[in-house]
Amino acid sequence: MTGIRLENVTKRFKTTLAVDDVTFSIRDGEFVVILGASGSGKSTILRIIAGLEVQTSGHVYIGDMQVDDYEPRDRNIAMVFQSYALYPHLRVYDNIAFGLRVRRVPREDDPDRFRRRTRQEIDDRVRHAADLLGIGDTLRKKPSELSGGQRQRVALARAIVRDPEAFLLDEPLSNLDAKIRSSARIELKRIHEQLKQTFVFVTHDQSEAMTLADRLVIVDHGRLLQFDTPENVLRSPANQFVASFVGSPEMVFLQGALTSVGGAYAFELDPVRIPVRGASSPGPTTIGFRPWDLAVDRAVGPGALSAVVRGVERLGSSDQLFLELNRASDHGVAPPSGVSLRAMAPAYEFQIGDTVGVTIRADRALFFGADGARLDALEGGTA
Amino acid sequence: MADLRDQTLGFRLRREWPAYIYLIPTTVVLLFLNAYPVAYTVYISMTDFGTGGRGSLLHYQYIGLGNYYRAILGSGGPTTLTLLENSLFWAAGSVALFLIVGLGLATVMNQELRGRAVYRTLILLPWAMPAFITILVWSNMWQYDYGIINELLATIGVRPIDWLGHASTAWTALFVTNLWLSFPFYTVVFLATMQAIPKDLYEAASIDGAGSFSRFRRITLPYLAPTIVFVGLMGFLFTFNNFYPIYLITSGGPGISTQIFITESYNKAFGSVGATPELSTAAVYSVIDFVIIVAITVVVIWRTDLTRNWLK
Amino acid sequence: MRRRRGRKWVRLAKRIASHAVLIVAVLFALFPVYFIAITSFSKIPIASITAQVLIPKMSQLTLASYHAALYGQYPTFGMLLENSLIFAGSAAAIGMALAAFTGFALSKFNFPGRRSFVYFILIISLFPSFLLIIPYYFMFAKLGLIDSYPGLIIPYSAGAVVFSGILVKNYMDSIPDDIEEAALVDGLGRTGAFFRVLLPLCYPVLGLAAFLAFVGPYTDYALAHVFITSSGKETLALNLYSIATTDTGASNYGVVTAFAIVMSLPIVVFYIAFQRYIIGGLTLGAVRG
């Protein structure tokens, strides 16, 4: 089984800590996306798996083998670089065939000895990979003659043709035009399904990550924050950073307080009062909700936040209102005025300048403690 | 931790050691053919080889800094000073000319002119001819009695000038010849740098109201500055020790008004036929030359931060 | 607006002035070459070389000088050419290889001591190479290598090493690291990646390095004069220098110039053929600083 496993991997560059004690396990055939902002360490993790960087401490396993001391060429992995890194002086055919020509394969008659691949073998594989990616007609051209999308596919073909144990992709779609990017995304997923190999994909684009991943690795400042399926990350983010990073439109956060009266807990943000199940220590708490978890009324009811409509976006199926919260009272934990949020509501009902009431759906709200960690013990609403 | 593979010295050695292998041939060559001869020259400069009056190649002894004392502070002082002045004047004056003419021509060529590539090829053509041949020809052209320059001047009524007979005209001849030798190189380098400047900077500037002088001063020059410093320094170092022009055209004359360190050193070593070459003196000049060059280089690089991002 | 009127005329005047300046520059640059060429084709002795240069008369043209240059030499022009090619060619090959290795090691490796090494080679290369002849003579005399092929080729090879090495380093710096990394992932070691991927990408700057490493030795007089004592190994440059300086009258100008032109032909041909690479490599290396 060719999974990839990282155990307590840390990487320090002189004074900066790029990767901080990261541990995770990828299953064979899985499509895992490492998601993070620029400089979060995601590319470093990938390069450590590849062997292009050597970790400061910790272990890397490809398959069941510990590959810490292995050079990149001996790890049997293939890599697609953000810039594609095609050999400029070789034709497309030779670019793809390069890795095949360089390595030897075990002989059929005596697996302990090795031979070079035959020209026919190489040709078959190259053409097969090229057809798979639809670049069969560019084989005689040089990289400089190709478009960005074509080059990206050549880079992919070069990786595929070697039949490695895992594919490592470093932001391979970032340099494509927006139009091509979504179709490239779908094609990549299709190839993954066809090859059934392990893919490790690095990106900073959360929508890309959510679309492609079987499971997501979320990193920030070198630390692994969450490793889970996209749905789980969306619904049960490990902390406030993760919650704010994934999902579009972004989650909105308001600072309030958790109070306890008798044995009953509630989240209070004047004039909102949401009873809360579960237990936690009272104190400053942040509530997080998504625009689709809000109800907007023409009248400001009790317990609803008051807001002014600042903008209306008519998208047809999912109209959005841009609201600005009003200061409800001068004492207590009131929301700061000026916080803008979006809400889903039929656009025809409202006009710019209207004052509306905003209600948060209690059961969909998430709560975060002062340190940002999610208080997963808490659930909104009464039993 | 059981295994800590940090970015330590040992770690870098383990990963980067092939570099040493690749550098072995070069290091051997440089040690043997550069470092050792320099050290040898320094040693010779502190002996009395050729000046000890013993008249034999094999007998010389170490005398410490006596030669230097004599050359700088003692009887050789005026000569050394003249050599120093001449060398600096030769190098600095030449480079100034190169830069001005090179920049000027590059600016002219930077416009969208027809046949620009032809001009560029043509002015570079002489560069393919061996230098000492062309210098010999120039030497011939500057001659008083049969040189073509005087003959051409005669056709427009100017009396023949004894170019090589007076210091000022001799320097003129040298500078003109040196300019001829080098201006194509500087023109091409500056032109290439100028062409790398994005055109929309100029467009934005002219919309903002800048005239051509202003655009040159605020856009072109800053872009060119590092290149100017770099080729200027290179040119200075090269000219300072450029043997052939002075040796072949003026032989340092008249007198030693155009003599520089390197030519005087050569004369002392190989000039007199039959007698023992004054190798110690030659070595002293070589060493002084070297020290000045290194000092200037270090200062320029240090002050202009030329190598800031150069080594990863 | 004051700029509107007369704009077309200003532009035209600028264009004419620019062309004029460039033509002057070209004339200045090519005049000595022209002078050499005309002299080489002229009947010697000639009454007035100036007149001939200014208005060449067909009647005064001849190939006699070329004949004398090519056939009237001792040792034969062929032998001189052969020697020059051996010395300069070997030095160019060795110099190019050294430059490639050095540039690669400095560009793509971050080994302990790299900084010091670079400072060392830069400073040591500042010593006037010309004056190294003196110690060279003693060193090589002791080794018995005076008047031998290797004896001269070795110092020649050392000439351009530092400069060419820096040129190659600058050029390689501009090759993105991930091309080398792609080769590593594809299955090569660093050596394989160097020879099969990086080096082929450096052909332009290597061409320039070879050109520089060739031209120096090919036209060298000083070192050859000291090192070569037997006429069998005499080079073109040596021979040219001696015939140019033995007789300063006007009588052998034709031969001298004809000789010079023929001697320069290989370089000029080389230069024109590889012009693009030479200028490209030059500007890339120089512009990078």
Could you tell me the domains of chain C?
Answer: 7-62 (no CATH), 72-288 (1.10.3720.10)
Nearest chain A CA: its distance from C196 CA (Å): 10
Domain spans of chain A, in order of start? 4-239, 252-380
pLDDT band at B150 (very low <50, low <70, confident <90, very high): confident
Q: Please report where in the chains the tokens 């990073």 appear, as a residue.
A: A245
Q: At the topology level of CATH, where does A4-239 sit?
A: Rossmann fold (3.40.50)
Domain B77-304 = CATH 1.10.3720.10 = yes
Closest CA to C267 of C88, C14, C140, C12: C88
Q: What percentage of chain A has pLDDT greater than the value 90? A: 31
Q: Which of A64-73, A288-297, C246-255 has the highest mean pLDDT?
A: A64-73
pLDDT-derived band at B52 (thresholds 50, 70, 90) equals: low
**Which residues neighbour B205 within 8 Å (Cβ) at sequence distance 6 or greater?**
B214, B215, B218, B219
A104-106 and A114-116: which strand pairing?
antiparallel
pLDDT digits (tens, 9 = 90+) for C186-214: 888 888 899 989 998 888 888 888 888 88
**Contact predicate A275/A381, CB 8 Å:** yes
pLDDT of B102 strictly over 90: yes
Chain A residue numbers with beta carbons less than 8 Å from the beta carbon of B5 are: 54-57
Q: A334 pLDDT band (50/70/90 cuts)?
A: low
The residue among A362 and B98 whose pLDDT is bigger is B98
The DSSP 8-state label assigned to residue C55 in this structure reads S
Q: C51 pLDDT exceeds 50?
A: yes
Give the pLDDT score at A43: 92
Contacts within 8 Å (CB) and 24+ apart, A58-61: A58/A6, A58/A7, A58/A8, A58/A9, A58/A10, A58/A21, A58/A22, A58/A23, A59/A5, A59/A6, A59/A7, A59/A8, A59/A9, A60/A4, A60/A5, A60/A6, A60/A7, A60/A9, A61/A3, A61/A4, A61/A5, A61/A6, A61/A7
Question: Does the pLDDT at position B1 exceed 50?
Answer: no
Given this model, what pLDDT does residue C278 score?
62
* CATH number of the structural domain A252-380: 2.40.50.140
- pLDDT at position C68: 77
Contact A85 C179 (CB under 8 A): yes
The pairing of beta strand A340-344 with beta strand A320-325: antiparallel
Sign for the pseudo-dihedral over CA of B16, B20, B26, B30: positive
pLDDT tens track for A203-221: 999 989 999 999 999 999 9
Per-residue pLDDT band for C288 (boundaries 50, 70, 90) equals very low
Give the pLDDT of residue A212.
93
Rounded average pLDDT over A340-369: 79
Structure tokens at A382: 């009464």
The predicted-structure confidence for C6-47, as pLDDT tens digits, reads as follows: 677 888 888 888 899 999 999 999 999 888 888 888 777 666
Of residues C262 and A316, more confidence is placed in: C262
Q: Around Cβ B278, how many Cβ atoms within 10 Å? A: 19
CA distance B75 to A170: 72
What confidence score (pLDDT) does residue B111 get? 82
Interatomic CA distance for residues A216 and A228, integer angstroms = 5
* Dist CA C176 CA C183 (whole Å): 12
Tell which of B114, B264, B311 to mutate to test the C interface (max C CBs under 10 Å): B311
| Strand duo A16-26 + A4-13: pairing | antiparallel
Contacts of A48 (CB under 8 A, 6+ apart): A6, A9, A11, A19, A54, A55, A60
- Shortest Cα–Cα distance, B10 to chain A (Å): 13
| pLDDT tens-place string over residues B279-311 | 888 888 989 999 999 999 999 888 887 777 777
- Answer whether residue C266 shows pLDDT above 90: no
Residues of A in contact with C182 (CB under 8 A): 79, 81, 85-87, 158
pLDDT grade, residue A330 (50/70/90)?
very low
Interface contact A54-B3, CB threshold 8 A: no
Q: What is the pLDDT of residues B263-283, one digit of tens each?
A: 888 888 877 666 667 788 888
Of the given ranges (A219-223, B171-175, C258-262), which has the lowest mean pLDDT? C258-262
Over residues A279-305, mean pLDDT = 79
Give kind and range of the element (H or E) at residue A223.
strand A223-228
Q: Best mutation site among B42, B103, B118, B140 for testing chain C: the one with the most C CBs within 10 Å?
A: B140
pLDDT at res. B176: 94
Are A73 and C178 an interchain contact pair (Cβ–Cβ within 8 Å)? Answer: no
How many residues can be counted in chain C?
289
Pick the residue with more confidence: B60 or C235? C235
Q: How far is CA B269 from the centre of its chain?
A: 21
pLDDT at residue number A220: 92
Q: CA–CA separation, A364 vs B4, rounded Å?
A: 46
Give the minimum alpha-carbon distance from A13 to chain B in angstroms, rounded to a whole number: 7
Q: What is the pLDDT of residue A175?
A: 86
The alpha carbon of residue B213 and the mean position of all alpha carbons in its chain are separated, in whole angstroms, by 31
Mean pLDDT of the B113-142 span? 84
What pLDDT score was predicted for residue B216? 84
Chain-chain contact of B3 with A13 (C-beta, under 8 angstroms): no
Residues C245, C248: Cα–Cα separation, whole Å: 6
Assess contact for B304 and B287: CB atoms under 8 A: no
Question: Given this model, what pLDDT does residue A283 score?
Answer: 81
| CA distance, residue A256 to nearest chain C CA (Å) | 49
The rounded mean pLDDT for chain A is 84
Task: Check residue C285 and give its pLDDT.
Answer: 47
Q: In what order do the strands lie in the sheet with A198-203?
A: A77-80, A166-170, A198-203, A31-36, A215-220, A223-228
Say what the pTM is.
0.79
Is the separation of the CB atoms in C53 and C31 below 8 Å? no
**Picking from A118-122, A270-274, B264-268, which range would have the lowest pLDDT averaged per residue?**
A270-274
What mean pLDDT do residues A86-91 have?
87
Position A328 scores a pLDDT of 53
- pLDDT, residue B73, reads 81
pLDDT band at C247 (very low <50, low <70, confident <90, very high): low
Nearest-by-Cβ selection for B34 from C30, C124, C256: C124
Query: Mean of the per-residue pLDDT values for chain C?
Result: 82
Task: Report yes or no: C84 and C234 within 8 Å, Cβ to Cβ.
Answer: no
What are the Cα distances from residue A213, in Å, to A26, A178, A373?
Answer: 12, 19, 24
Q: Which tens digit of pLDDT belongs to each residue from A211-263? A: 999 999 999 999 999 999 999 998 888 888 898 888 877 788 888 888 887 77
User: Which of A9, A57, A60, A69 would you mutate first to test chain B, the one with the most B CBs within 10 A?
Assistant: A57
ipTM of the complex: 0.82
